[in-house]
Amino acid sequence: MSSSSGLAIADGHAIVKMDTHRHLENGRRTPNSNSASDETPRGSALYRNNLLIAVGFLDLANALDFPANVWNQIPIPIYAMILMGLGGGCMILAISIGVWDMFLAVQNVHFLRSERSALLQQLACEDCVCDRALIRACLDMNRRELGWELLDRIALDFSMTVSAFLVGAGTLMAIRGDIATVFKISNLLSGYVGNALMPVYALLNALWSGYMWGRARKHGDAIRQSAGFLGSELVSDLQGRVKKHQRYALALMCTAWVTAIGSMISATKWQGYVVLAPSIVGSISCIIYWRTRLGYTRTACPDWITSEPGFDIWETLRAMKKAKSVVKNLGTDEKCLEKLLADHQESEESLQAFMKTLGLNHAFISTSADQISLDGEGSPRTLLQAQADAEACIMSSGARYFEHNERFLEELAGGLLTIQRNEGIRNRLPEHKPG
């Protein structure tokens, strides 16, 4: 944008930016990218990237029963009693972390089940104008997300929470280990009984991680076969996401098994805590990796594929990548926004079409309505004002919004290519557009 366009809305710029941000939060596609968290307003329908990093420390909390197992003797030293009280108390308090993360996961499950129902209705509708292969790709991604929420979150949270309660109770009871009955119960709770759920979870996780790895491999094969249509840059990005999923699946499976083995050994031997040390680091690392490299916050798939007939996932994905790059470079290149909108400045309709591709059309239109209501003459905004509003929408959304949608669309694209390959659909693969 030129300096003159900035002056054109100098009096109303603060209002435009404020109202744009409000509509971004309340609209269908809400990035909420300016906060440190991925949380969004509860009134909006979103699948949230809200896995708690604190869940990774549950492994550490469950290792705090070491005083009860290391000083399993009568009489119990005073310092051991103090450590038992601290360790057992911390484990009981850590239960709240698992319960809270389960609550967040259940909210995501409700969203995904509702989305799945809507997608199945669209697929069954004979008059549906949407690409049926794209709907099936959305269903496949929905299945993966449901499995991840149920197995990688809820099952893990449940196992760790129950273990923390049982082992924590056993550790606290060990303080009165001089009583024979209490001594026996304490040994059971802080031993094999308290740690029994972890091997069960490790088995489930191994099966699920194998599915995740195999699914990513199929996506990679389909992407390679479509290289001639996609172009080298897009193929590289899509393959990069495939490899990230495979690395995560393998790392998570190994971490779960090391945790299970260490927990069972630590039930009777202190050497088990040495085994648990790398699993604690691995668990925290896996969660951070998911939050920062793979996870995303998104709206429902029908909001994208039914927004207009002929939804072009490739055009949308490329637009998201460009917008993300522009927002990240705002501090070093003041003209990057002007470059992004350069091909869409001939009319407000062209700008609106581009904002619709970015998922920001609702906020873009809303700023126009707000300005008309604030203008005493009720005049519509000029093209310069529309361009400034588009810039305000993009800046208010932030890099995280575009990055999350890029991750979402890359996974959806991998699923779409896989389904098209399996169904022998060749005529719908996009021709590569340079740039």
Tally Cβ neighbours within 10 Å of residue 123: 14
Please name every residue paired with 47 in a beta bridge, in sequence order, or none if there are none: 298
Do the Cβ atoms of 288 and 101 come closer than 8 Å? no
Whole-angstrom Cα distance, residue 64 to residue 83? 9
Is residue 160 a part of any domain in this protein?
yes
pLDDT of residue 152: 93
- The answer, yes or no, to whether residue 14 has pLDDT greater than 90, is no
Is residue 353 a part of any domain in this protein?
yes
Q: Terminal CA-to-CA distance of the chain, rounded, Å? A: 22
pLDDT of residue 24: 36
Is residue 209 a part of any domain in this protein?
yes
Considering the domain architecture, whether residues 180 and 154 belong to the same structural domain is answered as: yes
- The answer, yes or no, to whether residue 400 has pLDDT greater than 70, is yes
Is residue 13 a part of any domain in this protein?
yes
The letter for the amino acid at 284 is I
Mean pLDDT of 44-49: 85
pLDDT of residue 328: 85
Considering the domain architecture, whether residues 8 and 71 belong to the same structural domain is answered as: no
Mean pLDDT of 164-181: 88
The candidate with the shortest Cα–Cα distance to 327, out of 238, 393, 235, is 393
Number of alpha helices (DSSP H) and beta strands (DSSP E) in the chain:
18, 0
Is residue 44 a part of any domain in this protein?
no
- The answer, yes or no, to whether residue 3 has pLDDT greater than 70, is no
- The answer, yes or no, to whether residue 83 has pLDDT greater than 50, is yes
Q: Which of 157-171, 207-221, 377-391 has the highest mean pLDDT?
A: 207-221
Considering the domain architecture, whether residues 151 and 169 belong to the same structural domain is answered as: yes
- The answer, yes or no, to whether residue 183 has pLDDT greater than 90, is no
Considering the domain architecture, whether residues 305 and 369 belong to the same structural domain is answered as: yes
Tally Cβ neighbours within 10 Å of residue 225: 14
pLDDT of residue 34: 39
Query: Could you give the 3-state DSSP secondary structure of residue 64?
Result: coil
Per-residue pLDDT of 257-307, as tens digits, reads 999 998 888 877 888 888 889 999 999 999 999 999 999 999 999 888 765
Considering the domain architecture, whether residues 370 and 232 belong to the same structural domain is answered as: no
Please identify, among 268, 294, 320, the residue that sits at the C-terminal boundary of a domain. Answer: 294
User: Lowest-pLDDT range, 67-76, 206-215, 301-310, 315-324?
Assistant: 301-310
The candidate with the shortest Cα–Cα distance to 396, out of 310, 315, 337, is 337
Is residue 394 a part of any domain in this protein?
yes
Mean pLDDT of 16-38: 37
pLDDT of residue 59: 86
| pTM of the full structure | 0.81
Task: Kindly give the residue spans of alpha helices, DSSP state H, lying in 2-77.
Answer: 3-8, 13-26, 58-62, 66-70
Please identify, among 248, 279, 294, the residue that sits at the C-terminal boundary of a domain. Answer: 294
User: Lowest-pLDDT range, 25-29, 57-61, 161-165?
Assistant: 25-29
Considering the domain architecture, whether residues 395 and 257 belong to the same structural domain is answered as: no
Q: Which domain holds residue 21?
A: 3-38+301-422
- The answer, yes or no, to whether residue 378 has pLDDT greater than 70, is no
At 144, the pLDDT band (50, 70, 90 cuts) reads very high
Is residue 73 a part of any domain in this protein?
yes
Considering the domain architecture, whether residues 238 and 341 belong to the same structural domain is answered as: no
Per-residue pLDDT of 91-131, as tens digits, reads 999 999 999 999 999 999 999 999 999 999 988 988 777 78
Mean pLDDT of 392-416: 91
Considering the domain architecture, whether residues 136 and 80 belong to the same structural domain is answered as: yes
At 80, the pLDDT band (50, 70, 90 cuts) reads confident
pLDDT of residue 360: 81
One DSSP character per residue, 311-380 reads --HHHHHHHHHHHHHHHHTTTT-TTHHHHHTGGG-S-HHHHHHHHHHTT-HHHHHHHHHHHHHHSTT-PP
Whole-angstrom Cα distance, residue 270 to residue 278? 15
Considering the domain architecture, whether residues 236 and 324 belong to the same structural domain is answered as: no
What is the number of structural domains in the chain? 2
At 310, the pLDDT band (50, 70, 90 cuts) reads low
Please name every residue paired with 298 in a beta bridge, in sequence order, or none if there are none: 47
In this structure, is the dihedral angle defined by the CA atoms of residues 360, 363, 367 and 369, taken in order, positive or negative?
positive
Considering the domain architecture, whether residues 149 and 283 belong to the same structural domain is answered as: yes
Whole-angstrom Cα distance, residue 423 to residue 417? 10
Whole-angstrom Cα distance, residue 99 to residue 105? 10
Question: Who has greater pLDDT, 311 or 243?
Answer: 243
The Cα diameter of the chain in Å comes to 88
Per-residue pLDDT of 312-354, as tens digits, reads 899 999 999 999 988 888 766 667 777 777 777 667 777 777 8
User: Residue 421 contacts by C-beta under 8 Å, 6 or more apart in sequence?
Assistant: 221, 222, 225, 226
Considering the domain architecture, whether residues 96 and 216 belong to the same structural domain is answered as: yes
pLDDT of residue 116: 96
What average pLDDT does the structure give for the chain?
Answer: 81
At 358, the pLDDT band (50, 70, 90 cuts) reads confident
Burial class from Cβ neighbours inside 10 Å (0-12, 13-18, 19+) for residue 331 reads exposed
User: Lowest-pLDDT range, 84-88, 91-95, 335-339, 412-416?
Assistant: 335-339
pLDDT of residue 252: 95
Do the Cβ atoms of 245 and 294 come closer than 8 Å? yes
Tokens of 35: 């906060």
Considering the domain architecture, whether residues 100 and 205 belong to the same structural domain is answered as: yes
Is residue 67 a part of any domain in this protein?
yes
- The answer, yes or no, to whether residue 309 has pLDDT greater than 90, is no
Please identify, among 294, 311, 334, the residue that sits at the C-terminal boundary of a domain. Answer: 294
